[in-house]
Chains A and B, each alone.
Chain A
Amino acid sequence: ETGVTQTPRHLVMGMTNKKSLKCEQHLGHNAMYWYKQSAKKPLELMFVYNFKEQTENNSVPSRFSPECPNSSHLFLHLHTLQPEDSALYLCASSQVLGDYYEQYFGPGTRLTVT
């Protein structure tokens, strides 16, 4: 148990569906992240929220839309996805303080787009 929870753990959706992934951290951290993990590829950073403000958007397609209502919750809204978007989506949190930057991950949501 890392203190970061994600729901749902598994999601199957059609290309025309709209769904949302949820992440909650219980660590009192001030930054949260969304990563995409595809088979045999390094983790890809998608979005960063630092003190609830989005600070990074690494050229992610607009069919992925993040939302960070407070420092403990992070959502990833999905719509009109493509089959190549099937992957494990990981949420992480960290306390950004100087060079201290340890990220703690949730268990992930396994997404399958049909």
Chain B
Amino acid sequence: GQQLNQSPQSMFIQEGEDVSMNCTSSSIFNTWLWYKQDPGEGPVLLIALYKAGELTSNGRLTAQFGITRKDSFLNISASIPSDVGIYFCAGRPGDMRFGAGTRLTVKP
């Protein structure tokens, strides 16, 4: 089946810095989703992408559907302490596949 590689596994940044993470697949995807999960909670959908090259923003978050359709990127600008959490990518066709997550720590 399709494998999703998400990197980096963890990030430690200073408040105010920009953050970038990405996911790659071994095959072509037609949907990319990005989620954030806080401790003790379920993942919350941040951004959904459906077209190659699509660039979508949600506040300080921006995600892109890669041109090759095998990757996606999530950027967070001017990070704040509440950005702390685990960010997951997910994609399909077929059953939704999830990356292992990027754990983000923001130091005030």
Residues of A within 8 A of B (CB): 2, 4, 6, 40-43, 45, 48, 56, 58, 90, 92, 99-108, 110
Provide the bound-state CA to CA distance between A102 and B48, in Å: 7
Contact for B41 among A48, A104, A107, CB less than 8 A:
A107
Using known A-B contacts A43-B88, A90-B42, determine if residue A99 contacts B99 with beta carbons closer than 8 Å.
no
Using known A-B contacts A43-B88, A103-B33, determine if residue A90 contacts B43 with beta carbons closer than 8 Å.
yes
Provide the bound-state CA to CA distance between A41 and B96, in Å: 15
How many residue pairs link A and B with beta carbons under 8 A? The number is 53
Instruction: Say yes or no: B96 contacts A40, CB within 8 Å.
Output: no
How far apart are B2's CB and chain A's nearest CB, in angstroms?
11
How far apart are A111's CB and chain B's nearest CB, in angstroms?
13
Provide the bound-state CA to CA distance between A40 and B42, in Å: 15
Provide the bound-state CA to CA distance between A101 and B43, in Å: 15
Residues of B within 8 A of A (CB): 4, 30-31, 33, 35, 40-45, 48, 50, 88, 90, 92, 95-101
Query: Given known contacts A48-B95, A103-B33, what 4 new A-B pairs fall within 8 Å (CB)?
Result: A43-B43, A43-B98, A102-B48, A108-B41
Contact for A42 among B44, B50, B99, CB less than 8 A:
B99
Residue of B nearest to A6 (CB): B42
Instruction: Say yes or no: B92 contacts A105, CB within 8 Å.
Output: no
Instruction: Say yes or no: A99 contacts B45, CB within 8 Å.
Output: no
Instruction: Say yes or no: B96 contacts A103, CB within 8 Å.
Output: yes
Contact for B45 among A42, A45, A100, A104, CB less than 8 A:
A104
B92 partner residues in chain A, CB cutoff 8 A: 101
Residue of A nearest to B48 (CB): A102
Instruction: Say yes or no: B42 contacts A42, CB within 8 Å.
Output: no
Residue of A nearest to B33 (CB): A102
Provide the bound-state CA to CA distance between A42 and B43, in Å: 12
Provide the bound-state CA to CA distance between A101 and B33, in Å: 9
How far apart are B77's CB and chain A's nearest CB, in angstroms?
23
Provide the bound-state CA to CA distance between A102 and B31, in Å: 9
How far apart are B52's CB and chain A's nearest CB, in angstroms?
13
